[in-house]
Amino acid sequence: MRKLNVLIAGSTGYIGVQLVKLLVKHKYVNIKYLCGNSSVGRNISYFDKDLKKNKLPKITKFNLKFLQNVEVIFTALPNGEAQIISNGLLDKNILIDLAADFRLNKISEYLKWYKQKHNSPKNINKSIYALPEISENKVKNFKIISCPGCYPTSILLPLTPLIKKDLIKTNNLVIDSKSGYSGAGRGVHQKFRNKNLYESLSAYGVGFHRHVSEIDQELKNITKKKINFIFTPHLTPMFRGILSTIYVELKNRKSIYDVYRELINFYKGKKFIIIKKIDSMLSTNNVINTNNIQISVCKTKFKNKFIILSAIDNLIKGGAGQAVQNMNIKFDFKINEGLK
């Protein structure tokens, strides 16, 4: 099989570098261009020494002419920039965006949550919100593949089967998520310069984090009803990983065993989803450097209430790995190609 020529825009950020590290192991990918701004002329190994042994192009400034020479464009850029690139896509191009440019279906919602006008409204209908285990082969019908945010990935994967099956109440979900500081990008030290990232735990975006819009949209798509939830993210003194804790109430006559069985059945055969035994305690350490998500359901002293734990690596399952997974689906590669 001929290799796909690939361009990575935003290749020097934490997720961009992680994407390069995955794609160099993908036997059907040729990395044609690595693009950046302040790093033009550098080798990507400057940002990760593990890449020294790979023959990779030097970082260059993005040019629309490059689209003539590639099939796939990955964008790990600040919000708004993938929209501009999407306007120049050729028929042969597939855009896989790791930012938020095509996650929301309404331009009014994008303006509300991201405080900027959408520069490619015509391309929203050509895009899909692609959580691979949920959207599956639907991605084959779209030119623009929008990868979910890291927090929503850790939340939607455990909740989607339970809401679809009507096992839980949706009027008072409480979601508490803790992330490694890499989730805030390379500018994290400047953004949180007044906090000691290495020795403190910080809540932020309380009640109004941008991912609220994404979670709300996708949960409503399941039931067509209003879902009430509270989401609070935290920054932790670790580099990578997310642990989400979701407090849930069962519907009448349902039990935690119904929940456990539904998760097992729904994700049967899904390579990257691991449903742990009831009451298993999870750690981010179990998923670091993998494209896996681990999910556990835990009892409480109340029969009708339980706790969901989910753990992912925010840079892989919550970012670069999910992008590669979507590409594998789009081009009929093995789902774990480049992700073994």
Q: Which residues are known catalytic residues?
A: 150
> Residue 82 in contact with residue 95, Cβ under 8 Å?
yes
| Residue 154 backbone phi and psi in degrees, to 5 | -70, -20
Question: What's the residue count for the chain?
Answer: 340
User: Which among 10, 153, 3 is positioned nearest to 74, based on CA atoms?
Assistant: 10
At 38, which amino acid appears?
A: S
Residue 188 host element (H or E):
helix 188-191
Residue among 156, 122, 150, 187 nearest 321 (CA): 150
H or E segment to which residue 242 belongs: strand 242-249
Instruction: Tell me if residue 244 falls in helix, strand or coil.
Output: strand
CB within 8 Å of 68: residues ≥ 6 apart: 90
Give the span between the Cα atoms of 324 and 8, in whole angstroms: 12
What six digits make up the tokens of 300? 């409480």
> In angstroms, how far is CA 22 from the centroid of its own chain?
15
Side-chain half-sphere of 290: how many Cα atoms within 13 Å? 14
